[in-house]
A and B are shown apart, each in its own frame.
Chain A
């Protein structure tokens, strides 16, 4: 599969010292077109700094970040990179600027120089893609957290990006809001948009094609979510945790119960536990 973003030997530090306090320390990562990549790691591991590298909000001290063949160090083409890779941040209230939903979504396309007709078309499409079309004339402050975050996603979508980076976009939401945003992220990925999801909620990683663990500015491991979560030692050492259903299955395995441990969500866990209970009853 073709790569949309290629990161090579990337170093970065917020202070001007030689390799001291490197926030990103020799990162090498290729993001494939259309994939769903999830990045996890403890606070201060460098996730958000890496996210800001992906569309040139920050530029490498050493090494390169290349988006569709364009280096983020190339000032002349920065706008093309920003059009290709959109960002959705943590706090919905910091990302919405207009007093009407559709005006907020129109901000991007208008600044890209789209004609009024083209802007109109893009805003309508973007709002219906996040299931917020009926709120187009509403004031953002009347929306719930999950709805505001979906408006922020629509604002990015209206710029027609090929890739969207979600930097802890569900951290401030209630359970319903989180479900709404994660469903939207999955839907967009199925429609072909490359997704990079940064999160502290392990259960959100289950939909990813690949899961990447960061620690102290380094990428420790990139693999399928299942393989990563099977590496208990790695999870423990990096201050992370298993999704709850996997935690329960592991607790049962630790008690010496023979159980299918290939589970991810509640349904899988239920099936595995039911199997064991059935076995017990038949004996």
Chain B
């Protein structure tokens, strides 16, 4: 039994209209605890719609979402129970901050979960800690923070629910390089510390290469590939045809292959590439 599984999910926004356009068509995939899955695809490929289906914000037209084996729509009145377990961080989540203080904003979901005050305090503290902000931030107005800090507070608001599946829709869009690195490390740490499953939507091939074990590739509402990261990136033409790309380092290796170098080697991150090249230079010296 998978932690979260989508089975033949389909959805369209105007199902009553004569010209029906499916936003998500027949998508199946599953996630286990402790996995990080990257979702990539061109704009309009259905990524955001799929994410909202996964945590029950949208109801599938056909197919189903199973959390720990249970169809989340079996009893629609209990859907909120699943939304607490499957946390969704929207695109540009900082626009949704609304409370007077950072504390109140992060405490919003735990309060709705009807937790005790003590437990709420604990969760707000640990959520702030997880996103690398100290407790002094708790009494600040979220609107006095920088863009990167606001983004982290918004993510902390979801982490405070202690979701077993954490879904993030383009969590690094619009952030500077340091802010991007901070958010990505935060996500990795949350996984390491809680064993949660992570699903991350991104337009950055470098980010998903560094972070994700598996990738789900969407195009025009369909799942084109769902496979290990290196297997997905080995399908260069499929990626290009679907508006995507290779990580920069992989492009360097493609060029090297054309010149006849390192033909049986491939790398997707700077660290891996460095190791391969250094080994090959040292190995070359040894042979000689």
Contact = CB atoms under 8 A, between A and B. Distances in A.
B176 A281 contact: no
Interface of A: 41-44, 90, 144-146, 168, 171-179, 200, 202-203, 239-241, 243-245, 247-248, 251-252, 255, 257, 266-267, 269-270, 273-274, 276-278, 280-281, 283
The 8 closest A-B pairs by CB, nearest first: A239-B178, A244-B248, A280-B284, A270-B255, A241-B177, A145-B43, A176-B243, A175-B245
B240 to A, nearest CB: 8
Nearest to B257: A270
Contacts of A281: 284
Interface in B146-173: 146-148, 173
B63 interface: no
A145 B174 CA distance: 15
A270 B261 CA distance: 10
28 contacts: A42-B176, A42-B178, A43-B147, A43-B174, A43-B176, A144-B42, A144-B44, A144-B243, A171-B173, A172-B174, A173-B43, A174-B203, A176-B243, A177-B243, A239-B176, A239-B178, A240-B178, A248-B249, A248-B252, A248-B274, A251-B270, A266-B255, A270-B259, A274-B256, A276-B277, A277-B280, A278-B261, A283-B288
Nearest to A175: B245
B248 A90 contact: no
Nearest to A241: B177
Contacts of A278: 261
B280 A267 contact: no
B244 A168 contact: no
Contact of A244 (B173, B174, B247): B247
A25 B113 CA distance: 46
Contacts of A244: 206, 247-249, 270
Main secondary structure of the interface of A (DSSP, over half): helix
Nearest to B271: A251
Nearest to B258: A270
A174 B256 contact: no
The interface size bin for chain B is: 35 or more
Contacts of B251: 266
Interface string B234-270: 0000000001110111011001100101100000001
B27 interface: no
A280 B277 CA distance: 11
Given A44-B146, A144-B43, A266-B251, A202 B177 contact: yes
A88 B137 CA distance: 34
A243 B274 CA distance: 15
B16 interface: no
Contacts of A245: 248-249, 252
B263 to A, nearest CB: 11
Interface string B101-141: 00000000000000000000000000000000000000000
A255 B274 contact: yes
A270 B270 contact: no
Contacts of B288: 280, 283
Contacts of A43: 146-148, 174-176, 179
B252 A252 contact: no
B210 to A, nearest CB: 11
Contacts of B43: 144-146, 172-174, 177
Nearest to B273: A248
Interface string B163-205: 0000000000111111111000000000000000000000101
Nearest to B256: A270
Given A174-B243, A175-B245, A239 B270 contact: no
Contacts of A257: 277-278, 281
B173 A274 contact: no
Name the residue in B43, B175, B259 with the highest tally of chain A Cβ atoms < 10 Å from its Cβ: B43
Contact of B284 (A177, A178, A269, A283): A283
B17 interface: no
A178 B280 CA distance: 34
Contacts of A174: 41-43, 203, 243-244
B165 to A, nearest CB: 24
Given A42-B177, A44-B148, A177-B243, 12 more contacts: A43-B147, A144-B42, A144-B44, A200-B177, A240-B176, A243-B248, A248-B249, A266-B248, A274-B256, A274-B259, A277-B280, A283-B285
